[in-house]
Structure 1
Amino acid sequence: MMMTRSRIVAATTADATTLLNSNPMVIVHKQTQSQSHHILRSKKRSPIYSPVTSGRRSRSQAVKRTCNKNDNVGGTDLFVLSKSTTRSHSSSSNSSSSSGSSSSRSSSSSSTLSLLSSSSSSTSSTSLVTEEFSKLQINTNTDSSSSSKSTIVIPLTQEIDRLPQPGSLDAYRSNKNSVNLCLHGYSYEYVTTMKYKKIKWRCKEIRRAAKCGSKIYTGSNLGTDKMPVYQYIGSNNVCHSHDPDFDKQKLAIFNYQLKNTAESNKSIPPSKLINQLTTDMKLNDKQITMIPKVQTLCRKVHRARSRTLPCIPRSLIFDIPDNFSFTSSGEKFIVFDHLYLNRTKRIIGFASPLQLRKLFSSPLICLDGTFPIVPKCYKQLLIIQSIDATSYEATPVLYALLNDKKTYTYTLIFQALKRTAKQMQMKFSPNRIITDFEKSMITTVRKQLPTTIHQGCLFHLYQAMSKKMKRFNLWTYYKSDDNLHLFLKKVMAIVLLIPSLMDNAFELLQKEYLKNKKLKRFKESLTKFMMYVNKQWLKSDMRTMITFYEVKFKTNNWSESYNSALRRRGQQNHLSIWLFIQLLIFEETAVRMKHFHTLNGKINAVNKSVRDGVLHINQKIIEINKQLTDNEIRLDDSLIALSALFGLKYEKWRRERKKNKKRIKDDNVDDDLLVDNFIYS
């Protein structure tokens, strides 16, 4: 007797409830091929299990299917959970009789639980049961002998875990510049923009074997094109048909951030950039093995940077694009650009109008060159800084790329500055200029700025003397012998005397090393050194450059410190011409920022230790010279007193070195005594 539809649904519901209470696992047949979806269509009002002949399959071919709100659960579709097709060896009569009672259904060794959904006229409770069972994808086949395929057991909670959940979204761009989103190990790609700026995203596995139909919805981009930011709104409540892959997502984000960072920080070496990004993202061992080789990543960095920069010129003849010819505020940045000597050499000067005004109005300027960061086709970068005597601060006001260090090149620079000052209705004539002792620079300053006091740098003077000490084999003894150390420091202190007393001091020291028996073994080396000092530094034309009496600033340490800072900001030697100009544009922005902060009262505090040290040394020099002119002390005593004002850190190091040597010697003596006592005891 055929059962009515309502009884069939009731019996099936009872069976399912019993199965849920007894089997908390979902048993899925394992299939090596890709998953496919099949829907069995049954005729209206036909029994649940129609008779099957021996020549036909006893069970319907069915596959796993996830039902959701968007799926059609009405009609007469028959859903069966299986990933393999099995042949039935039971008779058709047993199959038809099993539909009469629940006991005979459960006793069948190859039976498969299926649910026939009601038609459009079925009750709402039947539709709910149909939806729940199709979502759970239940298979009660417990007989392993009925199928030749192996099975895997999936917890029911895994389906819930595969549902899209709210969370923070990580965005990155693919190689085709399309935006992708990452959420809980799943990647989504852009589909379309809906109403009210709502954006639909679909799982990236939809085109692959998984055929995943999960989708999420977000708001519009809250960030920038390079760094997009999206906010999660909802999803279509479709479970993912695949497992999440956090490692693959991390690798995609790594590649995007590497490209993005390479474009924004062009001066960072590629190897350093790769190591830094790998450390910041905290990649594990598996993820590190997934990333390409370092050489491949370096090429990727170079390609990313080459897209945003012009081609690197191979000669001095090239055009500078507009984005490298103006400052960040849109002002002209190139002061002069001159090719000379049959277009074999080129000078390029960089400065903003603000920097030029500071240069032409400053009474004290410093000039110095730096070499490591300049492009390979150039020799040096000449930097001019204006000095503020009140705040003890220096401001870079001109950068000049030079091919050599010759007098003619420096002359071209000074002439170009004079023409620029005239165009701005100003005058380039500082009161004092501080440089090192480069011959070509000395000659140029004398000719181009005859009224300017050209002062040398005390640090460079002592540096030159130290090099000669090493050349004449005096440096080793200078560190260890106290008598030689004191004598050489008195020679260096000559430049701190009043200019009229320098010659007398030199004659006094020349007689001293000839008569002093403690310096007799250094006589030959000292003779060469004293001849060098007299010939190189005590000439009449050099006297003004080495006179540091009553001079407030005796060194150009500002230039040395700024050169060091500029090399650190460049982060590598011999930058390309475009990266180099970009670095100078950044430096001009810092100058402009400092200028407007000063105008608004945001003045940096004066370094009191530096200021007090400078004032103390200057005051001591004046006092010692005054005592000498008043005949309160002798000339030799004044030299000893002046020699104690410089090289303080070195003197401290020498004292510590002596103490350590004495301590080591005493320790060795104690060790010898211990050994002797041990042997003779």
Structure 2
Amino acid sequence: MFEIIDSKRNKPVLLLLNGYRYYRGKIKNTNTYWRCESRSCLGCCIKNDQNDPVLKAGHSHLPDENRCQAEQFNNKLKRRIEESAKRVTNIFKQELINVQVTASQQIATTPTYMATNKQQPVFGTLSSLQQLCSSDHLFMDGTLSSCPSPFYQLYTIHSYNNQISTPKFYSLLADKNQGTYTHLLAAIQRICYENQLIINPKYITIDFETAMINSLNMIFPNATIKGFNFHFNKCLYKHLQVLGFQSAFNNAESTDINDINVRNLYRKTASLAFMPPNQIPDLWVQIVNDFNKFKILNHFLIILQQHG
């Protein structure tokens, strides 16, 4: 498929073909010559008035599908605004919904999901869906203890509305795999589309589960992903346990210098979550310098640096 983009004066200036962008060159008889937008690339094609473009020289770089799709979206939006009497905001909203549902359908029908997850119920109301879409900040987490058989976990999606966070959607999941999380998020996007709503959060707070982080980056690439402070502290404590520092941490009355250093290192590391992001690297260097001289804590510092 190809598309030709017109200039403001309605003259063809840009050709989109297979992820590449071409600028219009010379016109000879009924043939129009198009050259790759990159001056260092020899890629070019020819288009006859009645036929599709024909590639005449290959490219020396990879295609950029995302950029071409964005160009097509802008061009389609521009044409609809020119031709329709509807408000610009309404046209933009509808086109954005169309883009979202197309992506959701592509993700939801992947062979991996169809082969491994046959049932994944989602519970909510229209009111909760509207609140979910009107919020800039979502919170997501799963629980194993409250989940009925045969499902593995009960996953809850909260949103922040009227200065309070409340649960809006529930889903029963069969596992903790990335494919399952991706399908859940895509299903919610599809439900929003069916109700003429857009879900586009600015912030999403979750635990430090890699599978969900990857799925969120795929479905909501513009959202900033944050971690729960509770899970961050729990992760720090877990590493202390693995290294045998549990008793040193729990014994708050101990005056042993090693026990005191363990507790101080934990507190200072945990407090980084409350610091301005641009100051964290310098503060972490300061913590390492303060505690690096204690050999007993070196392994803990190394683990944190590897996971940082």
Pairing partner for 1:363 from 128, 133, 136: 136
- In the alignment, is the contact (CA less than 8 A) between 2:113 and 2:179 conserved in 1? no
- Give the distance between the partners of 1:350 and 1:421, measured in 2 at CA: 13
Once the two structures are TM-superposed, the CA of residue 435 in structure 1 deviates from its matched residue by 0.7
Q: Which has the higher contact order (CA 8 A, sep 6+)?
A: 2
What is the CA deviation profile of residues 93-119 of structure 1, one whole-angstrom value per residue up to 9, with x for unaligned ones? xxxxxxxxxxxxxxxxxxxxxxxxxxx
Per the alignment, residue 227 of structure 2 pairs with 456
- Give the distance between the partners of 1:432 and 1:488, measured in 2 at CA: 27
- Read off the aligned partner of 2:225 and give its amino acid letter: H
- Give the distance between the partners of 2:165 and 2:266, measured in 1 at CA: 33
Per the alignment, residue 430 of structure 1 pairs with 201
Once the two structures are TM-superposed, the CA of residue 432 in structure 1 deviates from its matched residue by 1.3
- Give the distance between the partners of 2:115 and 2:170, measured in 1 at CA: 24
Per the alignment, residue 508 of structure 1 pairs with 286
1:488 maps onto 2:266 in alignment: yes
- TM-score by length of structure 1 reads 0.27
Segment drifting more, 431-440 vs 487-496: 487-496
Per the alignment, residue 119 of structure 2 pairs with 346
- In the alignment, is the contact (CA less than 8 A) between 1:435 and 1:455 conserved in 2? yes
- Give the distance between the partners of 2:129 and 2:114, measured in 1 at CA: 27
2:207 alignment partner, SS class: coil
- Give the distance between the partners of 1:493 and 1:372, measured in 2 at CA: 30
- Give the distance between the partners of 2:287 and 2:165, measured in 1 at CA: 38
**Structure 1 residues 494 and 344: alpha-carbon distance in aligned structure 2, compared to 1, 3 A threshold:** closer
- In the alignment, is the contact (CA less than 8 A) between 1:370 and 1:381 conserved in 2? yes
- Give the distance between the partners of 2:270 and 2:290, measured in 1 at CA: 15
Per the alignment, residue 272 of structure 1 pairs with none
- Give the distance between the partners of 1:394 and 1:507, measured in 2 at CA: 35
- Give the distance between the partners of 2:219 and 2:117, measured in 1 at CA: 25
1:477 maps onto 2:248 in alignment: yes
Once the two structures are TM-superposed, the CA of residue 535 in structure 1 deviates from its matched residue by 1.6
CA RMSD of aligned residues (A): 2.2
What is the CA deviation profile of residues 607-660 of structure 1, one whole-angstrom value per residue up to 9, with x for unaligned ones? xxxxxxxxxxxxxxxxxxxxxxxxxxxxxxxxxxxxxxxxxxxxxxxxxxxxxx
- Give the distance between the partners of 1:508 and 1:470, measured in 2 at CA: 24
What is the CA deviation profile of residues 435-463 of structure 1, one whole-angstrom value per residue up to 9, with x for unaligned ones? 11111111111111011121111111001
**Structure 1 residues 459 and 389: alpha-carbon distance in aligned structure 2, compared to 1, 3 A threshold:** farther
Specify which structure has the higher proportion of strand. Answer: 2
Aligned residues: 192
**Structure 1 residues 514 and 414: alpha-carbon distance in aligned structure 2, compared to 1, 3 A threshold:** closer
**Structure 1 residues 389 and 456: alpha-carbon distance in aligned structure 2, compared to 1, 3 A threshold:** farther
Once the two structures are TM-superposed, the CA of residue 492 in structure 1 deviates from its matched residue by 2.0
Identity of aligned residues (%): 26
- Give the distance between the partners of 1:488 and 1:462, measured in 2 at CA: 9
Q: Which runs of 4+ in 1 moved over 6 A?
A: none
**Structure 1 residues 389 and 346: alpha-carbon distance in aligned structure 2, compared to 1, 3 A threshold:** same
- Read off the aligned partner of 1:371 and give its amino acid letter: L
Pairing partner for 2:237 from 466, 470, 474: 466
What is the CA deviation profile of residues 573-600 of structure 1, one whole-angstrom value per residue up to 9, with x for unaligned ones? xxxxxxxxxxxxxxxxxxxxxxxxxxxx
- In the alignment, is the contact (CA less than 8 A) between 1:434 and 1:454 conserved in 2? yes
**Structure 1 residues 450 and 511: alpha-carbon distance in aligned structure 2, compared to 1, 3 A threshold:** same
- In the alignment, is the contact (CA less than 8 A) between 1:347 and 1:400 conserved in 2? yes
Gap runs ≥5 in structure 1:
1-336, 538-681
- In the alignment, is the contact (CA less than 8 A) between 1:340 and 1:346 conserved in 2? no
- TM-score by length of structure 2 reads 0.58
